[in-house]
Amino acid sequence: MWQKSASLAENEALELQKAPSLRKRFILSGAGVISVIALIAINLVFNYSQRLADLSYDRLLLSALLQMDENILAEDGRLSIDIPWSAFSTLAQANEDRIFYRVESSVDGYITGNQSLESTPPSPSELGKPQFYNQTFSGEMIRLVWLERDVTEANIQGSVTILLGQTRLSRETMASSITTRAVQVILLIAIVAIVLIMLGSHLVLNPLHRIEELLEERQPGDLTPIKLDTPKETYQLKIALNHFMARLNKNLEQLENYTAESAHQLRTPLASLKALAENARDQTTPERQEEALEQIVQQSETLSETVTILLNQAVVSHRLQTQRLIPLDLVALIKQSCMEQAVAALRQGIHLSFESDTSKVMILGEAFSLQQMLNNLLDNAVRYSAGNGLNDQNEQLVEIRIKQDVQSVRLSIIDYGDGIADDEKKRVFERFYRANYEISGTGVGLAMVKEISDRHQGKIKVTDTQPKGATISVDFPLYFDREGEL
């Protein structure tokens, strides 16, 4: 016993190890999403900081270029330039960056600046429109601004081109300082978010743990509902658990009652068996002894039957608890039951008659239980009809009728026996209640029928047959499939 529980615990531990963790999944997917977002953000920041640095330093570059442009002048009929000091002091704000420039005109060619700095802008040249671009020069990547415009001096035709460039040191410094700071912030946010997710996951899953703990701490027999304030998400779980426990509790109660009553029920025939056996033992003549033994055999058969019925009921109960209800043809089921019972009934001189206003009617049900129910009902009807008014033709008949309604179908089993008194009608479905002790039976049958009917959401009732006898009818709800067809 101990070893078994130890290995059980081991198995549980192993299973727990293999089982996917909800929390881990939650954290991993959260962290994954955050990482992707962070990577995208970092990438955007990289591009953005480059653009921002270029934007700000391009303004300086353009401002210097325009200052130069304003100082283009004509000198002895040739174009020249008097670069203002302020132009380069503007550029000196990028304090470590080298400066390159070149001024030329369409007429005279090179005017001043770096002779080796030659360049055509990437886009087709457009007069008066400055263009910015990068180019390698003097062993470094430099940023250039290019401007070509018409000469406005008198007597000089053509255009003048100014190229002004600076190295990218300050731009890179600015971009990387923006990037560094932004990346720091992004990483910090990402880490904080992941930590929050981890904490949050603990908080979110906590109600589950609380329910788990509560269940673990319970006494084995405690099936009372869980009284725990839970969030909406676990409320349904709690309700489901409570329903489940309620069902379990009911089952247990039933089982307890059933066991007690079965035992009680078996004790009487056993006692009588014992009396018969003692009687047989004490008989002196063989004839009487044989008679007594015959009685014992009969009693044993009855006992055996009772046990079979008890077992059947146990099976039915079990199936009703465990099996799902599926769509079934009630007509076909009844036909089968009638055929099975017909011969046995005839032997007792009873005719079974089956009438149905439909050839097929679908209900949700469990085949074995329904079968048992029908067998019981028929068996009962036959049993209570037999030996009554043999002269009357009607009394030897048990009728089975199926009548379909809009929402339900009614199954009626009609006998013409002695009938059931009004004050007993309510009690016939109690377990071990027998209306007529003259007639053999366990008293279990109708109780089981009621149980099966309940499980099928059927309404069962007992009425009188005219002129005499009893009618038991069960109303089953009809099954409609999804299209609303029968």
Q: Closest approach of Cβ 80 to other proteins, in Å?
A: 5
Rule CB under 8 A: choose which of 97, 366, 395, 475 binds other proteins.
97
Scanning 36-44, 111-119, 121-129, 209-217 for contacts with other proteins by CB under 8 A, the matching segment is: 111-119
With respect to other proteins, which residue has the nearer C-beta, 165 or 445?
Answer: 165
Residue 157 contacts other proteins per CB under 8 A: no
Q: Closest approach of Cβ 90 to other proteins, in Å?
A: 9
With respect to other proteins, which residue has the nearer C-beta, 38 or 87?
Answer: 87
SS3 of 355, please? strand
With respect to other proteins, which residue has the nearer C-beta, 56 or 323?
Answer: 56
- C-beta atoms surrounding 223 within 10 Å: 18
With respect to other proteins, which residue has the nearer C-beta, 111 or 228?
Answer: 111
Q: Structure tokens of 301? A: 């058969």
Q: Closest approach of Cβ 151 to other proteins, in Å?
A: 15
SS3 of 248, please? helix
Q: Closest approach of Cβ 120 to other proteins, in Å?
A: 22
Scanning 98-106, 319-327, 330-338, 393-401 for contacts with other proteins by CB under 8 A, the matching segment is: 98-106
Residues of span 67-86 touching other proteins by CB under 8 A: 75, 80-85
Q: Closest approach of Cβ 101 to other proteins, in Å?
A: 8
Total binding residues for other proteins by CB under 8 A? 24
Q: Comparing C-alpha atoms, which of 251, 263, 256 is closest to residue 432?
A: 263
Non-local (6+) Cβ contacts of 171 within 8 A are: 50, 53, 54, 57, 94, 143
- The secondary structure of 95-146 as a DSSP string is TT--EEEEEEETTTEEEEE-TT-----SSPP-TT--EEEEEEETTEEEEEEE
Residue 89 contacts other proteins per CB under 8 A: yes
Rule CB under 8 A: choose which of 29, 47, 138, 268 binds other proteins.
138
Residue 95 contacts other proteins per CB under 8 A: yes
Tokens 């007509």 locate to 331
Q: Closest approach of Cβ 105 to other proteins, in Å?
A: 12
Rule CB under 8 A: choose which of 26, 88, 354, 368 binds other proteins.
88
Sign of CA dihedral 188, 193, 196, 202: negative
With respect to other proteins, which residue has the nearer C-beta, 97 or 451?
Answer: 97
Q: What are phi and psi of 398, to 5 degrees?
A: -120, 125
Q: Closest approach of Cβ 74 to other proteins, in Å?
A: 12
Rule CB under 8 A: choose which of 20, 109, 124, 139 binds other proteins.
139
Scanning 138-146, 339-347, 437-445, 457-465 for contacts with other proteins by CB under 8 A, the matching segment is: 138-146
Q: Structure tokens of 469? A: 């006898």
Beta strand pairing call for 78-81 and 99-105: unpaired
Beta strand pairing call for 351-356 and 397-404: parallel
Q: Closest approach of Cβ 85 to other proteins, in Å?
A: 5
Distances (CA, A) of 486 to 200, 365, 411: 51, 14, 17
Rule CB under 8 A: choose which of 27, 30, 62, 98 binds other proteins.
98
Residue 104 contacts other proteins per CB under 8 A: no
Bridge partners, 413 (sequence order): 400, 472
With respect to other proteins, which residue has the nearer C-beta, 75 or 355?
Answer: 75
Q: Closest approach of Cβ 98 to other proteins, in Å?
A: 5
- C-beta atoms surrounding 463 within 10 Å: 14
Q: Comparing C-alpha atoms, which of 380, 477, 378 is closest to residue 428?
A: 380
Rule CB under 8 A: choose which of 103, 144, 352, 361 binds other proteins.
103
Q: What DSSP element (H or E) covers 162?
A: strand 159-167
SS3 of 311, please? helix
DSSP state of 1: -
Cis peptide before 467 (omega within 30 of 0): yes
Scanning 134-142, 250-258, 369-377, 386-394 for contacts with other proteins by CB under 8 A, the matching segment is: 134-142
Residue 65 contacts other proteins per CB under 8 A: no
SS3 of 428, please? coil
Tokens 């040739």 locate to 78
With respect to other proteins, which residue has the nearer C-beta, 58 or 329?
Answer: 58
Q: What DSSP element (H or E) covers 400?
A: strand 397-404
Residues in touch with other proteins (CB under 8 A) = 75, 80-85, 87-89, 91-92, 95-99, 103, 111-113, 138-140
